[in-house]
């Protein structure tokens, strides 16, 4: 979701660009290739079947009225490559907004207010990871608390560490991996009472 | 018939959207009991939506303010102890003193968790210089609490107090036979300042109302106490929904008595272990394992102590007609399996109790651990006695069970006590006194006795989940 300037809730956001173009520009610049090539930034998908599934979602998005800003195609030649793809204008109900595509496909949606952003973020069966980009520290904390997700990244994405609890809410699962929390998941608590 | 008991939804007493009424039964006479509205999925939907709406208000209520309300609920339960105990005894037939003890326990849950409202806290994690990383322990949202008929108010309080303390909202479904005190709890809680929608009660049957709670998409966790069979059914629905559960499903707990124990005390404890609440306690000690060199005289002491228990005075009835029939079926099974009833094995002998769902407290010998009466939870005042020679044999017998809820060890040898306590596969073990349960002690099962823990600080972890937040710090 990308904040659409100008802001309707009175905060000056004029320095922020409505970013699909920037996003698309960066996505288009990603160098696809074999993992053995040091210049490669993104490898292939795991199988032809999975590549077809990912591109199938692009077709579903298009059928639902979304537009492709960049990508959307398989890469000709050897390997199961799919272009990094930016979709815009997908409807809130579209399957590309609700199902896990598991490929390099992002749906960019514009919003006006914080409430709207939050409602869009939580309108999903899943809740594994989410990010907020803002310079407003109160907003960052409000959003981080209100997003239904096991992880929230503020001004970063996918920060991971073995000390950091990882796991989901809603259909993303339950229980936590990594961190101290994980030890609890592999232990039973037994209470022993000794009468004196 | 008296006016039926109504649901409590969004801060008020409401009738079913479209439901029927159950005429209750008084288990001590077999005559009419408390009439209860039987709700449907429509009532559950109304309650869950109210709980869902209330969850932000409750979560954003200051933690100390939440604690004050929970503490006020605790005080209110104690202030109304006599009335609540009378209601509980009317529905269950259990002795008034036992009802009163359970209600004091219910008040203690609210008292304990009222003081812990700040505890489901996060941490700051030191990971990288350019990241500020912290965790939040957040409430899950709407919790479904489904409770059985054996300790009605006590069990609902056990789940609700930590769930509410952690900032969740609740839709509770008490057993249809014993719903009164749960509705009273919700009403009193509202009068003590709990906001509307934070604690809702929907009355009705498990297959209808219970299932609707587990299936409702806005319910984010279910805490269930009851049978293994129903726990498994809930688990199947939960699998489809990726729904976390706390399951507390009963047991066939071993009570191990070594020859060197204080045998007189151990005998009275062994009776308390199996006969309290007419054996309708998931943590009953229903398998008595006795070292063979003292087996005969120990059984005699247990039988003597059992003889002092008078049905109708010291021991209540089975709480439902179905359960009464179940216990009688096990009397028959015991006979077919060749067990010997040292005492009991029959309906209550006192003719004044005719009509009520009473049985005589029962002790079986000539039992082996592979018999059904040694493996299945009877949920009545029925004890099986099995002999052993060595410590290893005792532990093997204790653990040769599908269940693992609690266990007891009686011995003068403290090293052995600790060895055996650690070797028993069960969530709670008592050494030299049975069931010294209290709100502070984590409670829950191994194996088919379920998973998750109730009580103690531990329970708060089961009514909250962790979110980790990474914030990039620029300029470093």
Question: Worst-scoring range by mean pLDDT, A161-175, B55-69, B226-240, B293-307?
Answer: A161-175
pLDDT in tens, A115-145: 999 999 999 999 999 999 999 999 999 999 9
Taking a C-beta distance cutoff of 8 angstroms, is the pair A104, A84 a contact? Answer: yes
- Determine contact, residues B351/B27, Cβ cutoff 8 Å: no
The reported pLDDT for the residue numbered A2 is 62
Question: ipTM exceeding 0.90?
Answer: no
Residue (of B314, B324, B312) closest to B357 by Cα position: B324
B5 and B179 Cβ atoms separated by less than 8 Å: yes
| B339: number of Cβ within 10 Å | 24
Predicted confidence (pLDDT) at residue A14 exceeds the cutoff of 60: no
- Which residues 398-427 on chain B approach chain A with CB closer than 8 angstroms? 417-418, 421-422, 426-427
CB B94 within 8 A of CB B218: no
Percent of chain B with pLDDT over 90: 95
Contact A190 B428 (CB under 8 A): yes
Measure the CA–CA gap between B39 and B159, rounded to whole angstroms: 22
Model confidence band, residue B424 (pLDDT cutoffs 50, 70, 90): very high
Phi and psi at residue B165, in whole multiples of 5°? -60, -35
Q: What is the pLDDT of residue B436?
A: 76
Task: For residue B64, give every residue at least 6 positions away whose Cβ sits within 8 Å of its Cβ, in sequence order, or none.
Answer: B117, B118
Would residue B150 show up in a list of annotated catalytic residues for this protein? yes
- Cα(B244)–Cα(B225) distance, integer angstroms: 14
Question: If you average pLDDT over residues A37-47, what whole number do you get?
Answer: 96
Contact between A184 and B461 using a beta-carbon 8 Å cutoff: yes
SS3 B348: coil
Which among B318, B52, B73, B255 is positioned nearest to B171, based on CA atoms? B52
Dihedral sign for Cα A135, A138, A141, A146, please: negative
- Contact of B155 with B185, CB cutoff 8 Å: no
* Interface contact flag, B469 A166, Cβ < 8 Å: no
For residues B8 and B50, give the distance between their C-alpha atoms in angstroms, rounded to a whole number.
11
Q: With an 8 Å Cβ cutoff, are B469 and A165 in contact?
A: no
Flag whether pLDDT at B160 surpasses 80.
Answer: yes
* Closest CA of chain B from A150, distance in Å: 4
Confidence label for A11 from pLDDT (cuts 50, 70 and 90)? very low
Instruction: Check if B282 is active-site.
Output: yes
Please tell me the distance in Å from A74's CA to the nearest CA on chain B: 34
What is the model's pLDDT at position B1? 52
- For the packed helices B81-92 and B152-165, what is the interaxial angle rounded to 10 degrees? 130
Q: d(Cα B192, Cα B29) in Å, to the nearest integer?
A: 36
pLDDT of residue A6: 42
| Chain A residues within 8 angstroms (CB to CB) of chain B | 140, 144-145, 149-156, 159, 161, 163-167, 169-176, 179, 181, 184, 188-195
Q: Is the dihedral of CA A146, A149, A151, A155 positive or negative?
A: negative
- List the single residue in A173, A176, A190 with the smallest CB-CB distance to B466: A176
Identified catalytic residue from B282, B342, B377, B391? B282
- Is it the case that residue A15 has pLDDT exceeding 90? no
Average pLDDT, chain B: 96
Active-site residue, B454 included: yes
Q: Name which of B234, B255, B220 is nearest B144 in CA terms.
A: B220
> Is the Cβ pair B467, A172 closer than 8 Å?
no
What is the per-residue pLDDT across B345-380, written as a single tens digit (0 to 9) for each?
A: 999 999 999 999 999 999 999 999 999 999 999 999
pLDDT tens across A57-113, in order? 999 999 999 999 999 999 998 999 999 999 999 999 999 999 999 999 999 999 999
Residue B378 to residue A73: CA distance in whole angstroms:
65
Residue A3 is predicted with a pLDDT of 56
Dump strand ranges (E) for B403-472.
Answer: 406-410, 428-431, 450-451, 464-472
pLDDT given for residue B120 in this prediction: 78
Q: How far is CA B55 from CA A39, A70, B219, B221, B417, in A?
A: 50, 41, 11, 14, 46
Strands B406-410 and B428-431: parallel
Checking if the pLDDT of B399 tops 50, the result is yes
pLDDT at B128: 86
> Across the interface, do A188 and B466 touch by the CB < 8 Å criterion?
no
The string of DSSP letters for A126-167 reads: --SEEEE--S-HHHHHHHHHHS-SSEEEESSS----TTS-B-
SS3 state of residue B313 = coil
Query: Which tokens hold the place of B452?
Result: 């998750």
Mean pLDDT of the B408-436 span: 95
Q: Contacts of residue A133 in chain B, CB cutoff 8 Å?
A: none
Residue A160 is predicted with a pLDDT of 79
Match 């490929």 to its residue by tokens: A103
CA nearest to A179 within chain B = B125
CB contact, 8 Å: B465 with chain A? yes
C-alpha triplet A82, A83, A88: angle, nearest 5°? 120
How confident is the model over B39-53, as pLDDT tens digits? Answer: 999 999 999 999 999
Average confidence (pLDDT) over B426-453: 93
pLDDT level of residue B2 (50, 70, 90 thresholds) = confident
CA B383 to chain centre: 20
Q: What is the pLDDT of residue A12?
A: 40
Mean pLDDT of A147-157: 94
Residues of A in contact with B453 (CB under 8 A): 189
* CB interface of B with A, residues 210-239, below 8 Å: 220
Distance CA B457, CA B36 (A): 35
């Amino acid at each position: 979701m990308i904040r659409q300037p100008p802001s309707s809730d009175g905060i000056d956001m004029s320095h922020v660009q409505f970013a699909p173009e920037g996003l698309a520009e960066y996505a288009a610049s990603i160098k696809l290739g074999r993992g053995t090539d040091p210049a490669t930034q993104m490898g292939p998908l795991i199988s032809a079947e999975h590549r077809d599934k990912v591109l199938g979602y692009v077709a579903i998005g298009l059928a639902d009225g979304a537009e492709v800003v960049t990508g959307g195609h398989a890469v000709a030649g050897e390997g199961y490559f799919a272009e990094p793809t930016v979709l815009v204008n997908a409807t809130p109900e579209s399957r590309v907004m609700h199902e896990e595509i598991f490929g390099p496909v992002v749906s960019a949606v514009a919003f006006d207010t914080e409430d709207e952003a939050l409602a869009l973020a939580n309108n999903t069966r899943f809740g594994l990871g989410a990010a907020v980009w803002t310079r407003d520290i109160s907003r960052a904390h409000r959003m981080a608390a209100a997003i239904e997700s096991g992880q929230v990244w503020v001004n970063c994405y996918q920060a991971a560490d073995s000390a950091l609890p990882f796991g989901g809410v809603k259909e993303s699962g339950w229980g936590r991996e990594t961190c101290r929390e994980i030890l609890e998941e592999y232990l039973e608590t037994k209470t022993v009472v000794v009468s004196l | 018939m008296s006016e039926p008991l109504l649901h409590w939804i969004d801060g008020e007493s409401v009738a079913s959207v479209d439901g029927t009424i159950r005429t209750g039964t008084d288990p001590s006479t077999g005559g009419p009991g408390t009439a209860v509205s039987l709700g449907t999925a429509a009532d559950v939907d109304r309650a869950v939506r109210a709980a869902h709406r209330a969850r932000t208000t409750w979560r954003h209520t200051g933690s100390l303010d939440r604690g004050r309300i929970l503490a006020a609920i605790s005080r209110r339960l104690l202030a109304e102890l006599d009335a609540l105990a009378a209601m509980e005894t009317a529905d269950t037939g259990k002795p008034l003193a036992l009802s009163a003890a359970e209600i004091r326990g219910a008040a203690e849950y609210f008292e304990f968790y009222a003081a812990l409202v700040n505890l489901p806290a996060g941490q700051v994690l030191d990971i990288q210089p350019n990241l500020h990383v912290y965790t939040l322990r957040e409430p899950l949202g709407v919790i479904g609490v489904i409770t059985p008929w054996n300790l009605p108010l006590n069990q609902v309080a056990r789940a609700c107090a930590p769930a509410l303390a952690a900032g969740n909202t609740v839709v509770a479904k008490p057993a249809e036979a014993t719903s009164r005190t749960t509705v009273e709890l919700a009403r009193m809680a509202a009068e003590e300042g709990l906001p509307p929608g934070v604690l809702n009660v929907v009355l009705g049957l498990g297959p209808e109302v219970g299932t609707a709670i587990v299936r409702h998409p806005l319910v984010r966790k279910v805490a269930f106490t009851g049978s293994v069979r129903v726990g498994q059914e809930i688990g199947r629905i939960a699998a489809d929904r990726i729904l976390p559960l706390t399951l507390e499903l009963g047991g066939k707990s071993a009570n191990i008595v070594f020859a060197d124990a204080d045998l007189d005390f151990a005998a009275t404890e062994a009776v308390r272990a199996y006969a309290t609440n007419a054996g309708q306690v998931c943590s009953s000690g229903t398998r008595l394992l006795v070292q063979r060199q003292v087996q005969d005289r120990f059984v005699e002491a247990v039988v003597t102590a059992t003889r002092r228990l008078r049905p109708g005075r010291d021991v209540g009835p089975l709480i439902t007609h179905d359960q009464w029939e179940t216990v009688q079926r096990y009397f028959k099974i015991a006979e077919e399996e060749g067990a010997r009833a040292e005492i009991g094995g029959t309906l209550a002998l006192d003719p004044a109790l005719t009509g009520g769902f009473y049985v005589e407290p029962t002790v079986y010998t000539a039992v082996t651990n592979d018999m059904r009466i040694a493996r299945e939870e009877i949920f009545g005042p029925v004890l099986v006695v099995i002999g052993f020679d060595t410590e290893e044999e005792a532990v093997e017998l204790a653990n040769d069970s599908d269940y693992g809820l609690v266990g007891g060890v009686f011995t003068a040898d403290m090293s052995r006590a600790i060895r055996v306590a650690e070797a028993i596969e069960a969530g709670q073990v008592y050494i030299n006194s049975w069931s010294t349960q209290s709100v502070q002690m984590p409670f829950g099962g191994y194996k088919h006795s379920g998973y998750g823990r109730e009580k103690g600080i531990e329970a708060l972890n089961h009514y909250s989940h962790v979110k980790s937040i990474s914030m990039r710090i620029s300029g470093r």
